Protein backbone atom coordinates (compact mmCIF):
# COMPACT_ATOMS: atom_id res chain seq x y z
CA UNK A 1 0.00 0.00 0.00
CA UNK A 2 1.09 3.55 -0.72
CA UNK A 3 0.28 6.40 1.63
CA UNK A 4 0.67 10.06 0.83
CA UNK A 5 0.65 12.06 4.06
CA UNK A 6 0.23 15.79 4.59
CA UNK A 7 2.00 16.78 1.41
CA UNK A 8 2.34 20.57 1.03
CA UNK A 9 4.16 22.57 -1.59
CA UNK A 10 4.48 26.21 -2.50
CA UNK A 11 7.04 28.45 -4.18
CA UNK A 12 6.28 31.18 -1.64
CA UNK A 13 5.01 30.77 1.89
CA UNK A 14 1.69 32.51 1.40
CA UNK A 15 0.75 31.10 -1.98
CA UNK A 16 0.55 27.35 -1.58
CA UNK A 17 0.22 25.17 -4.69
CA UNK A 18 -0.70 22.10 -2.66
CA UNK A 19 -2.02 22.04 0.87
CA UNK A 20 -2.10 19.06 3.15
CA UNK A 21 -2.68 16.33 0.57
CA UNK A 22 -3.40 12.93 2.16
CA UNK A 23 -4.55 9.78 0.39
CA UNK A 24 -3.92 6.04 0.20
CA UNK A 25 -3.57 3.82 -2.84
CA UNK A 26 -3.91 0.05 -3.03
CA UNK A 27 -1.24 -1.60 -5.12
CA UNK A 28 -3.41 -2.61 -8.06
CA UNK A 29 -5.46 0.56 -8.29
CA UNK A 30 -5.50 3.16 -10.99
CA UNK A 31 -6.15 6.63 -9.58
CA UNK A 32 -7.23 9.53 -11.77
CA UNK A 33 -6.18 12.98 -10.58
CA UNK A 34 -8.76 15.46 -11.81
CA UNK A 35 -9.09 19.19 -11.54
CA UNK A 36 -8.91 22.47 -13.37
CA UNK A 37 -5.78 23.92 -14.92
CA UNK A 38 -3.68 25.23 -12.06
CA UNK A 39 -5.34 23.02 -9.46
CA UNK A 40 -1.93 21.50 -8.76
CA UNK A 41 -2.26 18.15 -10.53
CA UNK A 42 1.12 18.04 -12.22
CA UNK A 43 2.76 19.57 -9.16
CA UNK A 44 1.30 16.77 -7.06
CA UNK A 45 2.94 14.14 -9.30
CA UNK A 46 6.26 15.98 -9.27
CA UNK A 47 6.13 16.25 -5.49
CA UNK A 48 5.37 12.59 -5.05
CA UNK A 49 8.47 11.58 -6.98
CA UNK A 50 10.68 14.31 -5.62
CA UNK A 51 11.29 16.25 -8.84
CA UNK A 52 9.99 19.11 -6.75
CA UNK A 53 10.75 19.02 -3.06
CA UNK A 54 7.59 19.38 -0.97
CA UNK A 55 7.90 21.62 2.11
CA UNK A 56 6.37 18.91 4.22
CA UNK A 57 4.83 15.48 3.94
CA UNK A 58 5.83 11.90 3.31
CA UNK A 59 5.23 9.37 0.56
CA UNK A 60 5.24 5.94 2.16
CA UNK A 61 5.74 2.95 -0.12
CA UNK A 62 5.40 -0.24 1.90
CA UNK A 63 6.00 1.80 5.04
CA UNK A 64 9.20 3.50 3.84
CA UNK A 65 9.36 7.20 3.00
CA UNK A 66 10.62 7.49 -0.57
CA UNK A 67 11.19 11.24 -0.29
CA UNK A 68 14.04 10.67 2.14
CA UNK A 69 15.63 7.99 -0.05
CA UNK A 70 18.60 8.38 -2.34
CA UNK A 71 17.50 9.20 -5.90
CA UNK A 72 18.53 5.81 -7.18
CA UNK A 73 16.53 3.97 -4.53
CA UNK A 74 13.61 6.26 -5.18
CA UNK A 75 13.71 5.39 -8.89
CA UNK A 76 13.37 1.73 -7.99
CA UNK A 77 10.09 2.52 -6.20
CA UNK A 78 8.58 5.25 -8.33
CA UNK A 79 8.49 5.72 -12.07
CA UNK A 80 7.29 8.85 -13.79
CA UNK A 81 6.29 9.62 -17.36
CA UNK A 82 6.28 13.32 -18.17
CA UNK A 83 3.58 15.07 -20.12
CA UNK A 84 5.90 15.94 -22.99
CA UNK A 85 8.61 13.54 -23.95
CA UNK A 86 11.65 14.63 -25.84
CA UNK A 87 12.51 12.52 -28.81
CA UNK A 88 16.15 12.13 -29.65
CA UNK A 89 18.21 9.95 -31.92
CA UNK A 90 18.13 6.88 -29.73
CA UNK A 91 16.56 3.52 -30.48
CA UNK A 92 13.40 2.31 -28.77
CA UNK A 93 15.39 -0.53 -27.24
CA UNK A 94 18.06 1.74 -25.78
CA UNK A 95 15.42 4.14 -24.50
CA UNK A 96 13.59 1.36 -22.69
CA UNK A 97 16.91 -0.01 -21.44
CA UNK A 98 17.40 3.30 -19.62
CA UNK A 99 14.59 2.22 -17.33
CA UNK A 100 17.20 -0.11 -15.84
CA UNK A 101 19.39 2.91 -15.07
CA UNK A 102 18.76 2.76 -11.29
CA UNK A 103 19.99 -0.84 -11.27
CA UNK A 104 22.99 -0.46 -13.59
CA UNK A 105 26.39 0.08 -12.04
CA UNK A 106 28.91 -0.03 -14.84
CA UNK A 107 27.25 -2.11 -17.56
CA UNK A 108 23.73 -3.47 -18.04
CA UNK A 109 23.48 -7.13 -17.03
CA UNK A 110 22.07 -9.97 -19.10
CA UNK A 111 18.94 -9.92 -16.91
CA UNK A 112 18.42 -6.25 -17.73
CA UNK A 113 18.47 -6.96 -21.45
CA UNK A 114 16.11 -9.89 -21.00
CA UNK A 115 13.61 -7.84 -19.01
CA UNK A 116 13.69 -5.06 -21.60
CA UNK A 117 13.20 -7.65 -24.33
CA UNK A 118 10.23 -9.15 -22.48
CA UNK A 119 8.55 -5.82 -21.78
CA UNK A 120 8.96 -4.55 -25.34
CA UNK A 121 7.38 -7.77 -26.49
CA UNK A 122 4.49 -7.49 -24.02
CA UNK A 123 3.77 -3.91 -25.02
CA UNK A 124 3.69 -4.85 -28.69
CA UNK A 125 6.64 -2.67 -29.61
CA UNK A 126 8.73 -5.40 -31.15
CA UNK A 127 8.49 -4.03 -34.66
CA UNK A 128 9.85 -0.67 -33.54
CA UNK A 129 12.68 -1.97 -31.43
CA UNK A 130 15.49 -0.62 -33.56
CA UNK A 131 13.72 2.54 -34.74
CA UNK A 132 14.98 5.86 -33.47
CA UNK A 133 12.42 7.43 -31.15
CA UNK A 134 12.42 10.69 -33.10
CA UNK A 135 11.05 8.77 -36.05
CA UNK A 136 8.04 7.12 -34.38
CA UNK A 137 4.59 8.58 -33.78
CA UNK A 138 3.44 10.37 -30.63
CA UNK A 139 1.31 7.42 -29.54
CA UNK A 140 4.17 5.00 -30.02
CA UNK A 141 6.53 7.29 -28.11
CA UNK A 142 4.07 7.45 -25.21
CA UNK A 143 3.95 3.65 -25.13
CA UNK A 144 7.75 3.49 -25.23
CA UNK A 145 7.98 5.86 -22.28
CA UNK A 146 5.44 3.84 -20.28
CA UNK A 147 7.37 0.68 -21.12
CA UNK A 148 10.55 2.35 -19.90
CA UNK A 149 8.81 3.29 -16.65
CA UNK A 150 7.65 -0.31 -16.19
CA UNK A 151 11.15 -1.64 -16.71
CA UNK A 152 12.07 0.33 -13.58
CA UNK A 153 9.88 -2.22 -11.78
CA UNK A 154 8.27 0.47 -9.65
CA UNK A 155 5.67 0.04 -6.95
CA UNK A 156 4.00 3.25 -8.04
CA UNK A 157 3.70 4.57 -11.58
CA UNK A 158 2.99 8.28 -12.12
CA UNK A 159 1.65 9.41 -15.48
CA UNK A 160 1.23 13.09 -16.32
CA UNK A 161 -1.46 13.45 -18.98
CA UNK A 162 -0.42 10.39 -20.97
CA UNK A 163 -3.19 10.87 -23.51
CA UNK A 164 -3.13 14.61 -24.13
CA UNK A 165 -1.28 14.50 -27.45
CA UNK A 166 -2.82 11.35 -28.81
CA UNK A 167 -5.59 10.59 -31.28
CA UNK A 168 -8.70 8.79 -29.92
CA UNK A 169 -7.52 5.32 -30.89
CA UNK A 170 -4.19 5.78 -29.15
CA UNK A 171 -5.86 7.42 -26.15
CA UNK A 172 -7.97 4.34 -25.56
CA UNK A 173 -5.09 1.96 -26.29
CA UNK A 174 -2.77 3.70 -23.86
CA UNK A 175 -5.36 3.88 -21.09
CA UNK A 176 -6.36 0.26 -21.56
CA UNK A 177 -2.70 -0.63 -21.33
CA UNK A 178 -2.34 1.38 -18.11
CA UNK A 179 -5.35 -0.35 -16.58
CA UNK A 180 -4.01 -3.75 -17.58
CA UNK A 181 -0.60 -2.99 -16.07
CA UNK A 182 -2.13 -1.98 -12.74
CA UNK A 183 -4.09 -5.20 -12.52
CA UNK A 184 -1.57 -7.68 -13.94
CA UNK A 185 1.61 -6.36 -12.42
CA UNK A 186 0.06 -5.13 -9.18
CA UNK A 187 1.42 -1.63 -9.65
CA UNK A 188 -0.40 1.38 -8.26
CA UNK A 189 -0.93 3.98 -10.98
CA UNK A 190 -1.63 7.67 -10.48
CA UNK A 191 -2.63 9.37 -13.69
CA UNK A 192 -3.31 13.06 -14.27
CA UNK A 193 -5.96 13.24 -16.95
CA UNK A 194 -8.31 15.82 -18.44
CA UNK A 195 -10.59 13.52 -20.36
CA UNK A 196 -13.33 12.60 -17.87
CA UNK A 197 -14.73 9.87 -20.05
CA UNK A 198 -11.38 8.13 -20.29
CA UNK A 199 -10.99 8.48 -16.53
CA UNK A 200 -14.45 7.07 -15.81
CA UNK A 201 -13.80 4.17 -18.09
CA UNK A 202 -10.34 3.09 -17.01
CA UNK A 203 -9.72 4.34 -13.48
CA UNK A 204 -10.81 2.82 -10.17
CA UNK A 205 -10.61 5.83 -7.94
CA UNK A 206 -10.74 9.56 -8.41
CA UNK A 207 -8.83 12.30 -6.66
CA UNK A 208 -10.52 15.63 -7.22
CA UNK A 209 -8.33 18.68 -6.61
CA UNK A 210 -9.76 22.13 -6.10
CA UNK A 211 -8.10 25.26 -4.77
CA UNK A 212 -4.89 23.43 -3.84
CA UNK A 213 -6.75 20.91 -1.66
CA UNK A 214 -8.41 17.53 -2.07
CA UNK A 215 -12.07 18.19 -2.78
CA UNK A 216 -13.06 14.56 -2.87
CA UNK A 217 -11.40 11.15 -3.08
CA UNK A 218 -13.24 7.93 -3.73
CA UNK A 219 -14.61 5.44 -6.20
CA UNK A 220 -17.15 5.87 -8.98
CA UNK A 221 -19.78 6.91 -6.47
CA UNK A 222 -18.21 10.36 -6.04
CA UNK A 223 -18.32 11.14 -9.74
CA UNK A 224 -21.72 12.80 -9.67
CA UNK A 225 -23.01 15.71 -11.72
CA UNK A 226 -22.82 18.27 -8.91
CA UNK A 227 -19.28 17.26 -7.83
CA UNK A 228 -17.90 17.39 -11.36
CA UNK A 229 -19.68 20.69 -12.05
CA UNK A 230 -18.19 22.12 -8.87
CA UNK A 231 -14.66 21.00 -9.74
CA UNK A 232 -14.64 22.15 -13.34
CA UNK A 233 -16.96 25.15 -12.87
CA UNK A 234 -19.08 24.03 -15.79
CA UNK A 235 -22.47 22.30 -15.66
CA UNK A 236 -22.34 18.66 -16.77
CA UNK A 237 -24.72 15.79 -17.34
CA UNK A 238 -23.68 12.25 -16.50
CA UNK A 239 -25.54 9.73 -18.61
CA UNK A 240 -25.47 5.99 -19.02
CA UNK A 241 -24.91 5.20 -22.68
CA UNK A 242 -24.34 1.71 -24.09
CA UNK A 243 -23.48 0.57 -20.58
CA UNK A 244 -20.79 3.21 -20.17
CA UNK A 245 -21.06 6.29 -17.98
CA UNK A 246 -20.33 9.39 -20.01
CA UNK A 247 -19.89 12.98 -18.91
CA UNK A 248 -21.30 15.65 -21.18
CA UNK A 249 -20.29 19.24 -20.42
CA UNK A 250 -23.01 21.80 -21.09
CA UNK A 251 -21.58 25.32 -21.34
CA UNK A 252 -23.92 27.88 -19.82
CA UNK A 253 -26.42 29.38 -22.22
CA UNK A 254 -26.27 26.40 -24.56
CA UNK A 255 -29.26 24.17 -25.07
CA UNK A 256 -28.61 20.47 -25.22
CA UNK A 257 -31.42 18.22 -26.27
CA UNK A 258 -31.26 14.62 -25.05
CA UNK A 259 -33.15 12.22 -27.20
Residues at the contact surface with another protein, assessed by CB under 8 A: 46, 49-51, 71-76, 78-80, 82, 85-86, 88-91, 93-95, 98-99, 101-102, 104, 106, 113, 117, 121, 126, 129-130, 132, 134, 145, 152
87 or 238, CB closer to another protein? Answer: 87
Min CB(3)–another protein separation in Å: 20
Min CB(256)–another protein separation in Å: 40
35 or 50, CB closer to another protein? Answer: 50
130 or 242, CB closer to another protein? Answer: 130
Min CB(224)–another protein separation in Å: 35
128 or 174, CB closer to another protein? Answer: 128
Residues 6+ apart with CB under 8 A from 213: 19, 20, 21
Min CB(89)–another protein separation in Å: 4
The one-character DSSP state at 12 is: E
Torsion of CA 199, 67, 82, 181, to 10 degrees: -50
Neighbours of 223 (CB within 10 A): 22
Min CB(149)–another protein separation in Å: 8
130 or 257, CB closer to another protein? Answer: 130
246 sits in which H/E element: strand 244-249
CA distance 143 to 127: 13
SS3 84: coil
CB 175 within 8 A of CB 201: yes
CB 236 within 8 A of CB 225: yes
Amino acid sequence: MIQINELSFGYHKHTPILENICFDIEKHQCIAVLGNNGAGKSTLLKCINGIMRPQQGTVLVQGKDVLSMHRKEMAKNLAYVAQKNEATKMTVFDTVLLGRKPYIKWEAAKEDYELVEKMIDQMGLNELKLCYIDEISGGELQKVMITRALVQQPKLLLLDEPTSNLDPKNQYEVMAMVQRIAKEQQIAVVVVIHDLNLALRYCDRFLLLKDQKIYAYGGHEIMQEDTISEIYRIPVKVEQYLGVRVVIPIPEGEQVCFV
